[in-house]
Amino acid sequence: MTEADHFTLIPEARFDLAGTERLHELFAVARDQRDDAWFADFRRAAWNASVIVATPPVFSAPDGFPYLRLVLPAPNKPFEGNCLSNLCATCAERGLGIAFFADAVDPPQAVQYAVPTGVLESLRSFGGWDGDPVDQAETEGEAAPTEVLVAGARDVLVAAPSAQYLPPHTAKLLREYLIKRWQLAEPSVALLVDPQLKPTRNLVIGRKHSEFPDPDAIDLQMRMLLWYLPPARSLVLMPEDWTLDQLTPLKDLAGEPHPESS
């Protein structure tokens, strides 16, 4: 990562009107002409560009997740500005994505660029859009597998995820999602470290493949969970011969109070 690609909160760099002007230019580019250079320019400009938080601020996108709606100000008109760098940490902690629009009246399908909360967490924790550098290094050039076939027994390390790997606010968001969407009574996870996998670190979700009523939906449901995690993180289901007492409840990782202590 070059210095120009390192994204950190620098208070005096916020609310950059030159960045706002650049976003106007970038959003005028036809979508089928937006190449890697366009995305790189967008990311640099969007970090500190002065934009408007829409009213109402949060909407449910077609993917089913909530996003904070940011719109470009009209040229030569006064406005109350904010910026991605100023909002990034708060949105990551609250489980919001951020969506950029060219105009306040644009419908959800006219979004110019959507940033999932996991990417915001990447910016918050690692100062970049592409996730943990450890995971990036291990997965560079690798296609993410939808299923992993283990041909034989091998040694792996199983532990509770650290707060650096799975911050308490992310654990809380995953817990809420798994209770609501997967209908798990008390979701649990573990960290599985397997040198033969890329990345080697994998978050185990406390549900088995055989416990899904619709096996064809497993891949989609796992991909939905990745919305909360930095890019290059990896999820696996609990092996069939494991029990839940081998995992750690997400409420413990989230710092949720136990009933007896409340």
Kindly give the pairing relationship between strand 97-101 and strand 113-115.
antiparallel
pLDDT tens sequence across 220-235? 999 999 999 999 999 9
**53 or 213, which is more confident?**
53
- For position 3, what pLDDT does the model report? 43
User: How confident is residue 37, by pLDDT bands cut at 50, 70 and 90?
Assistant: very high
- For position 41, what pLDDT does the model report? 97
- For position 76, what pLDDT does the model report? 81
- For position 1, what pLDDT does the model report? 43
254 and 162 in a common domain? yes
156 and 119 in a common domain? no
Boundary of a domain, candidates 58, 92, 126: 126
Backbone angles phi, psi at 187, to 5 degrees: -60, 140
- % of the chain surpassing 70 pLDDT: 91
Q: From the CB of residue 6, how many other CB atoms can be counted at a distance below 10 Å? A: 10
161 and 118 in a common domain? no
- For position 188, what pLDDT does the model report? 98
Supply 163's token pair: 């707060």
User: How confident is residue 5, by pLDDT bands cut at 50, 70 and 90?
Assistant: low
User: How confident is residue 143, by pLDDT bands cut at 50, 70 and 90?
Assistant: low
115 and 10 in a common domain? yes
CA nearest to 44, candidates 100, 1, 82, 6? 6
User: How confident is residue 146, by pLDDT bands cut at 50, 70 and 90?
Assistant: very low
Please list, in sequence order, all residues whose beta carbon lies within 8 angstroms of the beta carbon of residue 53, skipping any fewer than 6 positions away: 68, 69, 70, 82, 87
The residue-averaged pLDDT of 235-248 equals: 94
- For position 135, what pLDDT does the model report? 95
148 and 122 in a common domain? no
Within a domain: residue 132?
A: no
The residue-averaged pLDDT of 17-25 equals: 97
The residue-averaged pLDDT of 244-255 equals: 96
Domain count, the chain: 2
Alpha-carbon Rg for the chain in angstroms = 20
pLDDT tens sequence across 93-136? 999 999 999 999 999 999 999 999 999 999 999 999 999 999 99
Q: Are 69 and 99 within 8 A, CB to CB?
A: yes
120 and 8 in a common domain? yes
Enclosing domain of residue 242: 144-261
User: How confident is residue 261, by pLDDT bands cut at 50, 70 and 90?
Assistant: very low
Q: From the CB of residue 97, how many other CB atoms can be counted at a distance below 10 Å? A: 23
**75 pLDDT higher than 90:** no
pTM of structure: 0.91
119 and 12 in a common domain? yes
- For position 129, what pLDDT does the model report? 96
177 and 112 in a common domain? no
Within a domain: residue 134?
A: no
Within a domain: residue 188?
A: yes
Mean pLDDT taken over the chain: 91
Boundary of a domain, candidates 126, 152, 183: 126
178 and 114 in a common domain? no
- For position 257, what pLDDT does the model report? 64
238 and 199 in a common domain? yes
CA nearest to 98, candidates 144, 132, 129? 129
3-state secondary structure the chain: CCHHHCCCCCHHHCCEHHHHHHHHHHHCCCHHHCCHHHHHHHHHHHHHECEEEEEEEEEECCCCCEEEEEECCCCCCCCCCECHHHHHHHHHHHCCEEEEECCCCCCHHHCCEEECHHHHHHHHHHCCCCCCHHHHHHHCCCCCCCCCCCCCCCCCEEECCCCCCCCHHHHHHHHHHHHHHCCCCCCEEEEEECCCCCCCEEEEECCCHHHCCCHHHHHHHHHHHHHHCCCCCCEEECCCCCCHHHCEEHHHHCCCCCHHHC
CA distance 57 to 101: 12
CA distance 41 to 19: 10
Within a domain: residue 133?
A: no
154 and 121 in a common domain? no
165 and 196 in a common domain? yes
